[in-house]
Amino acid sequence: MNIVTKISDWQALRKTLANKTIGFVPTMGYLHAGHMSLCARSRQENDLTVASIFVNPTQFNQAEDFQSYPRNNEADIALLTAHQVDYLFLPEADMMYPDGYEVRVTEDQVSQLLEGAHRPGHFTGMLTVVLKLLNLLQPTQAYFGEKDYQQLLLIRKMVSALFLPVKINACETMRAADGLALSSRNARLTPAQRLQAAHFPRLLQSELNAAQITAELISLGFKVDYIMDQWQRRLGAVSLGDIRLIDNVVRV
């Protein structure tokens, strides 16, 4: 696997790949089987696969959350190499934001709901960095997990509105044996919290209504930001201690 850390190096390299289809898997690192499933699909559907690792500071609402976000580049590189990813783009924040984050991408409808209501500015940071990555890497296709369903909707909306020449692919949420959606933040759960966390997907998938699920989660010790039916999905966000979990399930 080739690791590229400088934007200018990638831009020069990209010119040599003009006749190749490129699949792109953007990540914030601390990779798990969910990320690898995206890479596997990209490898099946493209000549080359590029992953990125960039813990994007502009989409964190609290500095403590950014600082405590789990990181392990050495393990991530080993995992990507084992899964035969062709390129890793690994930039620094000052490279991605040479303007000091003065130019931003905003959306004022979908981004105001759910996650947007509880994390002001989060989606502006996310859309801004995704646009930068898509412009830099110029992939044929990009792959995003359905766990972050609202994020997926916003990326598709941005790509359509700005006429970006990339296909956005949604990939099914990968889950642990007890149903918990795989997430890098799961690594921060204590053993007791990890057992408790399995109640979250169980209740989301139950026949209870949103209010009943909320009450049950609170009784089990969760802090609940929202449980809501939207976009033919039931979406939820909860916290155990200072660790926030999000998930969604299809509702027909």
Q: What is the CATH number of the domain that holds 14?
A: 3.40.50.620
Per-residue burial over 139-164, b if 16 or more Cβ lie within 10 Å, else e, is bbbbbbbbbbbbbbbbbebbbeeeeb
Same domain for 190 and 131, yes or no, is no
Say yes or no: 90 and 202 in one domain. Answer: no
pLDDT bracket for residue 252 (50, 70, 90): confident
Per residue in 27-70, pLDDT (tens digit) is 999 999 999 999 999 999 999 999 999 999 999 988 888 999 99
Share of the chain above pLDDT 90, in %: 98
Q: What is the pLDDT of residues 70-91, one digit of tens each?
A: 999 999 999 999 999 999 999 9
pLDDT category at 184 given cuts 50, 70, 90 is very high
Q: How far apart are CA 162 and CA 79, in angstroms?
A: 34
Whether residue 97 is found in the same domain as residue 217:
no
Please report whether residue 214 resides in a domain. Answer: yes
Domain count, the chain: 2
CATH number, domain of 222, equals 3.30.1300.10
DSSP state of 110: G
Mean pLDDT of 197-213: 98
> What is the rounded average pLDDT for all residues in the chain?
97
Coil/strand/helix, residue 167: strand
The owner of tokens 């990939």 is 171
Domain residues for the domain of 215 are: 184-245
What is the residue whose two structure tokens read 């990507």? 80
Q: How far is CA 244 from CA 46, 58, 224, 250, in A?
A: 34, 17, 10, 21
Active site residue 83: no
Residues 6 and 119 in one domain: yes
3-class state of residue 148 by DSSP: coil
The CA distances from residue 75 to 69, 70, 81, 93, 179, in Å, are 15, 12, 10, 21, 25
The number of residues making up the chain comes to 252
70 domain-assigned: yes
Distance in angstroms (rounded) separating the CA atoms of residues 236 and 172 = 17
- 148 and 234 assigned to the same domain: no
Q: Cα angle at 168 between 165 and 169, to 5 degrees?
A: 145
- The pLDDT of residue 238 is above 90: yes
Q: Do 188 and 138 belong to one domain? A: no
Q: Say if 93 falls within a structural domain.
A: yes
Same domain, 114 and 26: yes
Instruction: Check whether residue 158 and residue 188 sit in a common domain.
Output: no
CB 155 within 8 A of CB 137: no
251 assigned to some structural domain? no
**What is the Cα–Cα distance from 164 to 158, expressed in whole angstroms?**
8
- For residue 16, what pLDDT band results from cuts at 50, 70 and 90? very high
For residues 39 and 155, state if they share a domain: yes
What's the pLDDT tens digit per position in 96-115?
A: 999 999 999 999 999 999 99
Check 35, 83, 122, 199 and give the catalytic one. 35
